[in-house]
Amino acid sequence: YSRRPEGRKQQLDGWSPVMESAVQPEQYPGYGEQVDQSLAMQLVRMFALVALAAGPVSEQRERYVRRFFHGRYPGDVAERFLLTFENLCDHSKDSRELMESLDRRLSYQEKIFCLLVTFEYVFSADPSEIDLAVLRRLSGLLGVESNDTAFIEAHFHGKKPRLRIQSAANLISLRIT
């Protein structure tokens, strides 16, 4: 992940200038910990796992991550998510540790949600077979049933899931807006 503007090389322990202007950490005890444990931060970790396994982050996927977080969160929080994503992509050596933390933190429903958004992230650029294999493997390691993963994948391919998958999946339908 190397398209980072030079001025963005910040430590996650500290606050970026954007964060300092919007939120004063001393006013909100536990703010950083709450953000780090949020479902959105788990998405950051899933995006990073895909990026680490599938290769460099494309411009389309980088744009997706920016739009996703800036479209849903205040600038200071979005920047924290983006800095974490960059840091994980640049410095993460133990994807197994990331996987285990996701598995411990997320309920099955949250895993499905994160998987949906991660599929959306991957499909924001033309997905390769490697990308899809990484998603399937990630899904399996998280304990998501293969029929649920196949159901989600069929949706992103623009197909109706095969009847066998549709009847065996825990999901009834998908509607992503």
pLDDT over 80 at 95, yes or no: no
What pTM did the predictor assign? 0.73
d(CA 102, CA 43): 9
Q: At residue 151, does pLDDT exceed 70?
A: yes
- Residue 97's nearest CA partner among 152, 141, 161, 64 is 141
pLDDT band for position 133 (50/70/90)?
very high
pLDDT, residue 6, reads 43
Q: Give mean pLDDT, residues 110-117.
A: 90
What pLDDT sits at residue 57? 86
Mean residue pLDDT across the chain: 76
For the stretch 40-75, pLDDT in tens is 999 999 999 888 888 788 899 999 999 999 999 988
Question: Is the pLDDT confidence value at 10 over 90?
Answer: no
Q: What is the pLDDT of residue 52?
A: 85
The predicted pLDDT at position 20 comes to 42
